[in-house]
Chain A
Amino acid sequence: MSTRRTLTVTASALLAVGLSAAPAMADSAEPNPATTVTVDGNQVTITTDLATVQNLCDRADHAMTRLDLATTRLTADATTQGSLAWVRVQRDQARAAGKPAVADRWQLALDRRERRLPRMQEAAENLGTAYESVCTALPAPGQP
């Protein structure tokens, strides 16, 4: 029991510090990331400010939109500037034109984007799951 309580209080203190590092958004009401904890037998209750989580949800929504736009562009066909297919065309054209240095630069860009794309997709999926489990349960800002 004492170990559990110590762990709980420690976790809460760490959470308070961790959450206080989250940047505040200007369009929500006065987030206060401080937390409180109460222990009642086997039940631990941690309380935080709703506006803090609403701010995180606003950021999550915006971040998912940005990732979706970038992913759509990267996975488009060769007619879309910046897509993986488009970069391959640029690389191949540079090679065909006898410009190996230029082709190498396009290859580096291609490698970089191919590495980043699955990370973006995974991040968007994870964030979407968290958004569904947390943000959809919240009342809208200003609502009780």
Chain B
Amino acid sequence: MKRGVTLRRSTVVIGAVLSLALLSGCGRHAAETSDVDVGTVSSSIDGQDGAVTDPTQAAALSLLVDEAEQLADEAEQDLASDG
């Protein structure tokens, strides 16, 4: 299933930045993901489409999920070390 999403130029630029972060292997670094402006990205959603399948949003979400999973891993391992 494929759906189209209309983007603003600013979103495309954001997408490029996010993609470069992914390609450079920085996607799991907290400092990189904290720079993601989710509000700006979300402003590009095409409301008429009904579904948000914009890959720039997916890229932002991917970075945030990676960071959250890494932190959860660390926290769980640390807590488990208490015995």
Contact = CB atoms under 8 A, between A and B. Distances in A.
Interface in B42-83: 42, 45, 50-62, 64-65, 67-69, 71-72, 74-76, 78-79, 81-82
Contacts of A81: 82
Contact of B65 (A51, A56, A73): A56
Interface string B1-21: 111111101001101101110
Contacts of A101: none
A22 B62 CA distance: 7
B49 to A, nearest CB: 9
Contacts of B50: 137, 139
A45 interface: yes
B71 A116 contact: yes
Interface residues of A, number: 62
A127 B57 CA distance: 12
A48 B50 CA distance: 14
Contacts of B39: 129, 133
Which secondary structure characterizes the binding site on chain A?
Answer: helix
Interface in A120-144: 120, 122-124, 126-127, 129-131, 133-135, 137-139
B68 A47 contact: no
B76 to A, nearest CB: 6
A127 B19 contact: no
A67 B71 contact: yes
A82 B68 contact: no
A21 B24 CA distance: 12
A89 B80 CA distance: 18
Contact of B6 (A43, A48, A135): A43
Interchain residue pairs A-B with the least CB separation, the first 6: A14-B19, A18-B22, A133-B42, A66-B72, A63-B68, A11-B16
Given A44-B7, A126-B38, A138-B52, 9 more contacts: A45-B6, A46-B4, A47-B3, A50-B1, A60-B61, A124-B68, A130-B38, A137-B50, A137-B52
